[in-house]
A = this chain, B = another copy of it.
Amino acid sequence: MRVSSLFMPTQREVPADAEIISHQLMLRAGLMRKVASGFYSFLPMGYRAFRKVENIVREEMDRAGAQELIMPAVLPAEVYMASGRWEKFGPDMFRLQDRSGRSFCLGPTHEEPFTETVRDNVRSYRQLPVTLYQIQHKYRDEKRPRFGVMRAREFVMKDAYSFDADEKGLDQSYQAMYQAYCRIFDRCGLDYILVHADSGAMGGSGSQEFMVKSDVGEDAIAYCPACGYAANEEKAPCPAVRGFDGEAGTVEKVHTPNFRTIEELMAFLGLPPTAFAKTLLYDIDGKIVAVMLRGDREVNEIKLKNLFDANEAVLAGSADVERVTGAAVGFAGPVGLAEPIPVVADSEIAGMGNFVIGANETDYHFLNINVGRDFTPTRIADIRCAVEGDPCPSCGKPLSMCRGIEVGHIFKLGTKYSEALGCNFLNSDGEEKPMIMGCYGIGVGRTLAAIVEQHYDKDGIIWPMAVAPYSVIIVPTNSTDETINATASELHDRLTEAGIEVLLDDRDERPGVKFKDADLIGIPIRITVGRKAPEGIVEYKLRSDGNVVEKTPEEAVAEVLREIGRI
A contact residues vs B (CB 8 Å cutoff): 4-7, 9, 30, 33, 35-36, 39-44, 46-48, 50, 65, 67-76, 79, 91, 94-96, 98-99, 102, 104, 106, 113, 117-118, 120-121, 126, 130, 132, 137, 139, 141, 143, 153-154
Is the pair B44, A67 in contact by a Cβ cutoff of 8 Å? yes
CA distance A132 to B79 in the complex (A): 36
Choose one: B43, B91, B102, B139; the contact of A69 (CB below 8 Å).
B43
Q: What B residues does A126 contact at CB under 8 A?
A: 4
Instruction: With A137-B73, A137-B137, A139-B74 as known contacts, state yes or no: A113 contacts B6, CB within 8 Å.
Output: no
Is the pair B41, A98 in contact by a Cβ cutoff of 8 Å? no
CA distance A132 to B6 in the complex (A): 10
Choose one: B42, B74, B132; the contact of A39 (CB below 8 Å).
B74
Choose one: B102, B113, B120, B154; the contact of A73 (CB below 8 Å).
B154
CA distance A495 to B87 in the complex (A): 50
Is the pair A99, B106 in contact by a Cβ cutoff of 8 Å? no
Q: What B residues does A68 contact at CB under 8 A?
A: 44, 47-48
Q: What B residues does A41 contact at CB under 8 A?
A: 69-72, 113, 117
Choose one: B94, B102, B118; the contact of A74 (CB below 8 Å).
B94
Is the pair A35, B153 in contact by a Cβ cutoff of 8 Å? no
Instruction: With A70-B41, A141-B98 as known contacts, state yes or no: A65 contacts B5, CB within 8 Å.
Output: yes
CA distance A99 to B142 in the complex (A): 9
Is the pair A7, B67 in contact by a Cβ cutoff of 8 Å? yes
Smallest Cβ distance from A207 to chain B, in angstroms? 24
User: From A1, which residue of chain B is reached at the shortest CB distance?
Assistant: B67
CA distance A284 to B27 in the complex (A): 49
Q: What are the 7 closest A-B residue pairs judged by CB atoms, nearest first?
A: A9-B121, A96-B96, A44-B67, A39-B72, A36-B76, A91-B99, A41-B71
Q: What B residues does A96 contact at CB under 8 A?
A: 94-96, 106
Q: What B residues does A47 contact at CB under 8 A?
A: 68-70
Smallest Cβ distance from A34 to chain B, in angstroms? 10
Smallest Cβ distance from A45 to chain B, in angstroms? 9
Q: What B residues does A70 contact at CB under 8 A?
A: 41-42, 47, 50
CA distance A118 to B9 in the complex (A): 10
Copies in the complex: 2
Q: What B residues does A40 contact at CB under 8 A?
A: 72
Q: What B residues does A79 contact at CB under 8 A?
A: 35
Is the pair B95, A69 in contact by a Cβ cutoff of 8 Å? no
Which of A46, A68, A69, A113 lies at the interface centre, i.e. has the most chain B CB atoms within 10 A of its CB?
Answer: A69
Smallest Cβ distance from A221 to chain B, in angstroms? 29
Q: What B residues does A154 contact at CB under 8 A?
A: 72-74
Instruction: With A95-B96, A130-B5 as known contacts, state yes or no: A75 contacts B42, CB within 8 Å.
Output: no
CA distance A68 to B71 in the complex (A): 23
Smallest Cβ distance from A156 to chain B, in angstroms? 9
Q: What B residues does A117 contact at CB under 8 A?
A: 33, 41, 43
User: From A110, which residue of chain B is reached at the shortest CB distance?
Assistant: B41
Is the pair B153, A39 in contact by a Cβ cutoff of 8 Å? no
User: From A507, which residue of chain B is reached at the shortest CB distance?
Assistant: B126
Smallest Cβ distance from A228 to chain B, in angstroms? 34
Smallest Cβ distance from A287 to chain B, in angstroms? 29
User: From A32, which residue of chain B is reached at the shortest CB distance?
Assistant: B69
Smallest Cβ distance from A519 to chain B, in angstroms? 20
CA distance A130 to B35 in the complex (A): 20
28 sampled A-B residue pairs with Cβ under 8 A: A5-B65, A5-B130, A7-B69, A7-B121, A7-B132, A33-B117, A35-B71, A35-B72, A36-B75, A36-B76, A39-B72, A39-B75, A39-B76, A40-B72, A41-B71, A42-B69, A44-B67, A44-B69, A44-B132, A47-B68, A47-B70, A50-B70, A72-B154, A73-B154, A74-B94, A74-B154, A94-B96, A96-B96
Q: What B residues does A5 contact at CB under 8 A?
A: 65, 130
Q: What B residues does A141 contact at CB under 8 A?
A: 98-99
Is the pair A35, B113 in contact by a Cβ cutoff of 8 Å? yes
Beyond A43-B69, A94-B96, A96-B106, 13 extra complex contacts between A and B, CB < 8 Å: A4-B126, A5-B130, A7-B132, A35-B76, A39-B75, A40-B72, A42-B70, A44-B69, A44-B132, A46-B69, A47-B70, A48-B68, A74-B106
Smallest Cβ distance from A48 to chain B, in angstroms? 8
Smallest Cβ distance from A155 to chain B, in angstroms? 10
CA distance A71 to B5 in the complex (A): 20
Which of A67, A73, A102, A153 lies at the interface centre, i.e. has the most chain B CB atoms within 10 A of its CB?
Answer: A67
CA distance A223 to B72 in the complex (A): 37
CA distance A104 to B139 in the complex (A): 13
